[in-house]
Amino acid sequence: MKTLMGLPIVAVLVMTWAANTASAACCGAANYSHVSSCDSTCCQQQCCYTVMKNCHRTVYEQQQVTCYKNCYETVYDEKQITCTKHVQETCYRDCEYTVCKPVHETKYRTCNYTVCKPVWETKTKEICYTVCKPVYETKTKTYCYTVCKPVYETKTKEICYTVCKPVWETKTRDICYTVCKPVYETKTKTYCYTVCKPVYETKTRTYCVNVCKPVQETCYRTVCETVCKPVHYTKTVKVCCGRWENQEYTIPGRSYTKCVQDPGCWTYDPCTCCCCYQPGQCRQVTCTTPATKCCKKVWIPEEKEQVINCCRMESSTIQKQVPYTVCKMVTEQQQRTCNYTVCHMVPEQKTRTCTYTVCHMVPETVHKTCSYKVCHMVQEQRTKTCNYTVCHMVQEQKTRTCNYTVCHMVPEQRTKTCTYKVCHMVQEQHCKQIPYTVCHMVAEKCVKKVPYTVCKPVCYTTTVKVPRCVCKQVPYTVTRCVPRTVCEQVPVTVCCPDPCSGRRGRRCGC
């Protein structure tokens, strides 16, 4: 928008510059007083410049439009029918049998063993060591320093700036476009379809059933029984023991760092015409405390051999004949009669009439008037006053007194009492009960369920799908062209008339 507004201004400036250039070239800078006629090269040239011209052009745009058409689809409706089927059912009857179960019994035997217990004895001894105590001394020193203070000054200045204001202009243009209107038409068609009807028939059949009868039989089996007998024996065992011994060790002294300041000196300052005290340099000094001797107890392990009495259980196997009852199932065949229903599907032809709608699109031309706004920017000069602050730094002399502390370490002898323990191992006799298990076989009667199969008729409901036709509208997209007027700026060359065509003999370009 700003570019379109600036084009007329640029054209006027180009025309003015061309006129001034021609005047200066022909009448000012170059003097053609000796030329008697207008046959010169300056009078034969014309003054041309370029101007932007508005040009309207029609552009066609593609637009997507959604339409609907009828589509027929086959839909299946669910219908329930009753059917009969034979289902096998499992029944159970009770059957008794004898089982031998093991019964475990826990017994205990006595075992003697020796345990070594530690007995602790407390002892005391005195240890001498040296401690360094700090002694602090306070000193004072005075030194001068310079401080800069800020001094603020407020000033004022005027600033000129340009503001652009928008000026709006309303314009109108006509737009023609085509609209498609739907026209609906109703039609009818007939179609045939097939329906299946169920026809039921009752039939009878004879089938054989195997029935199992239980027959009991007594059998014998060999059972191996394990008996445990105790056997006593002696073995040598290594016992871990030891003793405590005192050992001395040295702890090295602790290293620490302290700050030491060297003595200062007085120097003459030519700026202040007086002597100033310069303190000495501070440095870090590493010191070490004296080593400490300590005592600790160390356990020295030893191994000794000891003879102990042990007992182990040796097992022996005994075979026995144990009677048990076996139940055998004997199969017997029987005949039974049952009735069942058979269903046959019989097809039947039917006719149905369906009504549907057809849509046709009819084009129609529509005219519309559109209003739009054009903005022009107008410049305006404004002035504002701005305040700002200027800062100046002013130096000022000050004096400060500082206190500092000096530390001296003074050694001091001290004594402390240290307590330590000594361990002695004492043997002690103990007795414990060791459990072992003995197994006995006990006869037990059990009952189990024996399955057999029975056929029973069961009625059930089945769902059958019946087809039917349904009409529905399906959307589809249509592309159409819509005209639109576009305004463009086209450069046009404009030439001024020949300035020498009116008078002859005058100077060119005047």
Q: Is the CB of residue 144 less than 8 Å from the CB of residue 397?
A: yes
Assigned domain for 505 exists: no
Assigned domain for 280 exists: yes
In this predicted model, what pLDDT tens digit does every residue of 437-484 receive, in sequence order? 877 778 888 888 878 777 778 888 888 787 787 888 888 887 877 788
> For the chain, how many structural domains are there in total?
1
Assigned domain for 507 exists: no
Assigned domain for 186 exists: yes
Q: Is the CB of residue 425 less than 8 Å from the CB of residue 117?
A: yes
Tell me which H or E stretch contains 13: helix 2-23
Assigned domain for 500 exists: no
pLDDT at site 298 = 83
Kindly state the tokens that stand for 144: 């001068």
Assigned domain for 286 exists: yes
Assigned domain for 509 exists: no
Number of CB atoms found within 10 A of residue 47's CB: 16
The residue range of the domain holding 317 is 2-495
In this predicted model, what pLDDT tens digit does every residue of 479-510 receive, in sequence order? 877 788 888 888 888 776 655 444 444 443 43
pTM for the complete prediction?
A: 0.18
Residues of the chain with pLDDT under 50: 1-8, 12, 18-44, 500-510
Assigned domain for 330 exists: yes
pLDDT at site 80 = 82
pLDDT at site 9 = 54
pLDDT at site 508 = 38
| CA 289 – CA 129 distance, rounded (Å) | 11
pLDDT at site 40 = 40
pLDDT at site 102 = 80
Q: Which residues make Cβ contacts (< 8 Å) with residue 275, sequence separation at least 6?
A: 266, 267, 268, 269
Tell me which H or E stretch contains 39: none
Output the CA–CA distances (angstroms, integers) from residue 230 to 112, 308, 474, in the order listed: 16, 16, 98
